A and B are shown apart, each in its own frame.
Chain A
């Protein structure tokens, strides 16, 4: 199994600012993912972070709003840009990398509040 850490664990930000969330995996993984969990809702995939290429975004999410980096096989960042109160959510990073198992592992999440 993979152990995933995220920083920060929580933050309170002002409208119009940006926040970068870091995700670190304790082993090399093929695929990393970023999810958003809005209050009272389930998880929605934002994008798949690909090492060495641009992220693949899901419908409704764009690179200008959620730029993602994946500089190596153990690390990724998600930036939430020009934030508004509607961006208040938990942002979770997940990873898959064991070719013998399709199981995905999740980080503890970053709880973001935008005022």
Chain B
């Protein structure tokens, strides 16, 4: 059974800091890994998707990497801003039915 872990559960940083959010998964036989952002009381916004054959994806100040063999992914946020404050969820797709298994998320607070 696939399990996804995100540690720590919460993180507080000053504005402008570069930071790394970690995600680990137990079964390396994944199709892809997706990072989402969730604002309080809101749904999920897709940030980046890395397919199993890829090593990283970039979008603006965000860079996500994938090391499938070790069961790890990182989301790098450059020059953090207060608007980046949200919960960041990592999810992996395993199996042919597009099912996503989620971690519990990391709640990020960027202090002005």
Contacts and interface: CB of A to CB of B under 8 A. Distances in A.
Interface of A: 1, 4, 6, 31, 33, 41-45, 48, 56, 58, 92, 94, 96, 101-109, 111
B49 to A, nearest CB: 5
Contact of A109 (B43, B99, B102): B43
Contacts of A4: 43
B81 interface: no
Interface residues of B, number: 25
B59 interface: no
B43 A102 contact: no
> How would you classify the secondary structure of chain B's contact residues: helix, strand, loop or mixed?
strand
Contacts, number: 61
Given A102-B93, A104-B98, A42 B103 contact: yes
B15 to A, nearest CB: 27
Interface in B18-63: 31-32, 34, 36, 41-46, 49, 51
B32 A107 contact: no
B97 A102 contact: no
Interface centre among A6, A43, A44, A94 (most CB of B within 10 A): A43
Nearest to B89: A42
Contact of B97 (A1, A56, A92): A56
B104 interface: yes
A22 B45 CA distance: 19
Contacts of A111: 41
Given A42-B89, A42-B104, A104 B42 contact: no
A48 B102 contact: no
13 contacts: A31-B97, A31-B98, A33-B98, A33-B99, A41-B104, A42-B103, A43-B102, A48-B97, A102-B51, A103-B34, A104-B46, A106-B36, A109-B43
B100 interface: yes
A109 B101 CA distance: 18
Nearest to B100: A104
Contacts of A103: 34, 46, 49
A42 B104 CA distance: 4
